[in-house]
Amino acid sequence: MKGFVRAVGAICAAACFSAAAPAAVVTVTAKGQVSDIWAIDNSVSVAVPPTSINLGDAFSLSMRFDTNLAWSDPTFAADPTVAVYVMPGTARLAVGSYTDNFSVGWTQVTVGLHDNSLDVPGPKDAQIFEFLRLGAPQAAIPIDMGSGFLSQGLYFQLFDPSATARDSDLLSDLRPLSSFPNQRFLMTLFNYDTNLFVEFTATVSESNLSVAPEPASWAMMLGGFGAIGGAMRSRKRVSVRIA
């Protein structure tokens, strides 16, 4: 019996440790509608190049990242109200007839967390999820950006004017998206050679954030429960021999 209790205690301790650590796989999703498209070239407004995306098109976004692989940007280390975390990740985007899976090439996820931060204009609490792809191929994007080195950014921005949504700037303290009344999605494209910049803005009608333990934590817990089962079977066999 003592061995069984010790095994249960070990599993509980491991589970508590995993829960306290910020290691988790996070999935962020959003849906809505394109509300604005604009372009500038060398800081001058220009006509939007031919694109397959139109005003009113529906969009669907999914971002996925593992916080166990995150590192904190030291730029904000001394500020207790804001933190920026960088990590690898994947994303899937569908806008109108355009779809793309952002899982190859040089990509990264940036999560900016603001707790009553003066760095956020207007609303003071924020969770900002950004996905950046450098060297985006022209054939894979929904607009004619011309020849040159291209970058593509996906930005899901959530703000709370009352500054009550967040209690810290910790990555382990991601808040429910429903806590942020102001939400918007942006997709940007930039040609580094010509300085052409295009932005698609969308309103958000539905969003969700889910957090699951990272795979190593699950493996530890499942292995522990397997050990408990083995201990129980062994105890049962011993009692039969004694009888």
pLDDT at 38: 97
Percentage with pLDDT > 90 across the chain: 60
In the predicted structure, residue 240 carries a pLDDT above the cut 80: no
pLDDT at 218: 44
Greater pLDDT, 201 or 213: 201
- Among 111-125, 134-148, 229-243, where is mean pLDDT lowest? 229-243
Q: What pLDDT band is residue 14 in, cutting at 50, 70 and 90?
A: very low
pTM: 0.78
Paired residues of 151 in beta bridges: 134, 190
pLDDT at 236: 45
pLDDT at 20: 39
pLDDT 10s digits, 91-110 = 999 999 999 988 755 678 99
Question: What residue segments make up the domains of the chain, in order of their start?
Answer: 1-23+214-243, 24-212
